[in-house]
Amino acid sequence: MIRIKAFALIVCSMCFFNGGFAQPWFQKSSFGGEARHRATAFSIGNFGYIGLGHINSAVDVEYEDFWKYDPASDSWTQISDYPEGKCFHVTGFVINDKAYVGTGRKIDGTYFKRFYEYDPATNVWTSIADFPGSARRGAVSFAINGSGFVGTGQTTGGYSNDFYRYVPASNSWFPIPNLPAAVRTSSVAFELNGMGYVGTGNTNAGSTNDFWMYNPVTNSWTPRASVGPTTRQEATGFSLNGKGYIGTGDDYSSGNNFGDFWEFNPSTNTWVQIADFSGTARRYLVSFVIGDRAYCGTGTNGTNFRDFWMFDRYLSVVSEELKKANICVYPNPSSEKISIDLKSVSKETKNKIEIEVIDMTGRLYDVTYKCEEKLILDLMTKESGIYLLNFKVDGEVLLQKKIIKS
């Protein structure tokens, strides 16, 4: 059923296109805390979390706050502060609906190896066994089959490539083989189809675009295809619907900031470029995944950010379909009725469309139609003026049409 219904005045997440790619990025409510970079992000169940981080400009500021994001209401709520206090470049992973967060650094140069477990049911952080390697910042982590894996990063002695496995059941750490590549910091890591992946980062020779797969069954690393043609560090990455994604970052610390994004297919060991990140190009963007969507925010290009974005590949395809469908709204202007012609839209998409109507003052309407190829909007009782039709799928505005009541 297609519904034309009442709703409050909203800021529309319009879908644009860049570089010939369908645009999968949709802006959401800004991060609840202050703008920052080198933050930490993870998701538990239906909620995402971002916290910690710092600003290093004329006045250095570091943070200990954490915030929970609810995608259903597109809202942020502050949770308990991190018990280690203010710090940045901390890593974290999630196992069985609990987060495990640790390592990092303070502005005064102190490096940490302490780790904490966060339980969202009680909103309580609990100290667990320290990370067994050297204290560090800029480490990466992923979780596979009830174990967490943490490695790389920068210590007081330089960059690292060592890795360790954490088992919550015994609160124990165990060494695994080092990443068989250059020591590094500010890399990207994620789990995909039961394998761990680590790539990019800052090495002693500069930024890199190499990419590695860890197999927990064989306890071994295998090189995979490099991440695009450009070396990068301080990027973000995540896995979603059987694919891996890496993007943004820069080519050297405080260097040229990137906005490009790349998609990895593990079955073919190939990367393809997709639509650029829709926010400002930056480094230290952080991300997490909830269901079939990824969410990214914060970071810096010299200016610190708190904008927040949703990534949804399915909606980008639907958006492109609606754009190409050339939906007709006629006659326009009209004093009586306006027809909405949807015959060029696929049945699958038509069944998911919700059409919202709003006037320029926020006046509300509530009209319901059956799913048909042509819908009739009665304007007889409406005041003269400009109205907007928002074509929404899964809560996102993918197309907008302007109509005029004469």
Residue 241 neighbours by CB distance under 10 Å: 11
Q: Which residues does 324 contact at the CB level (< 8 Å), separation at least 6?
A: none
Percent of the chain with pLDDT over 70: 92
Residue 36's Cα: distance from chain center in Å? Answer: 16
Mean pLDDT of the 254-262 span: 95
The Cβ of residue 305 has, within 10 Å, a number of other Cβ atoms equal to 20
Residue 3 pLDDT greater than 50, yes or no:
no
CA distances in angstroms from 178 to 163, 206, 212, 344, listed in the order given: 5, 20, 11, 55
What pLDDT is attached to residue 112?
A: 97
Residue 34 pLDDT > 80? yes
Neighbours of 164 (CB within 10 A): 17
Ranges of CATH 2.60.40.10 domains, the chain: 2-10+321-405
pLDDT at 366: 53
Band of residue 161 on the pLDDT scale cut at 50, 70, 90: very high
Residue 372: per-residue pLDDT? 64
pTM: 0.86
> Does the pLDDT at position 109 exceed 90?
yes
Q: Which helix or strand (DSSP H or E) is residue 58 part of?
A: none
pLDDT of residue 4: 43
> What band does 19 get if pLDDT is binned at 50, 70 and 90?
very low
Q: Is the pLDDT of residue 1 over 50?
A: no
Percentage above 90 pLDDT, the chain: 70
Q: State whether CATH 2.120.10.80 applies to domain 25-311.
A: yes
Q: Considering only the top CATH level, what class is 2-10+321-405?
A: mainly beta
What integer is the mean pLDDT of 268-276?
97
The pLDDT, as a whole number, for residue 362 is 67
pLDDT at 5 (0 to 100) = 43
**Rounded CA gap, 149 and 146, in Å?**
10
Give residue 12's pLDDT.
33
Q: Where in the chain is the domain with CATH 2.120.10.80?
A: 25-311
Mean pLDDT of the chain: 90
User: By three-state DSSP, how is residue 319 classified?
Assistant: helix
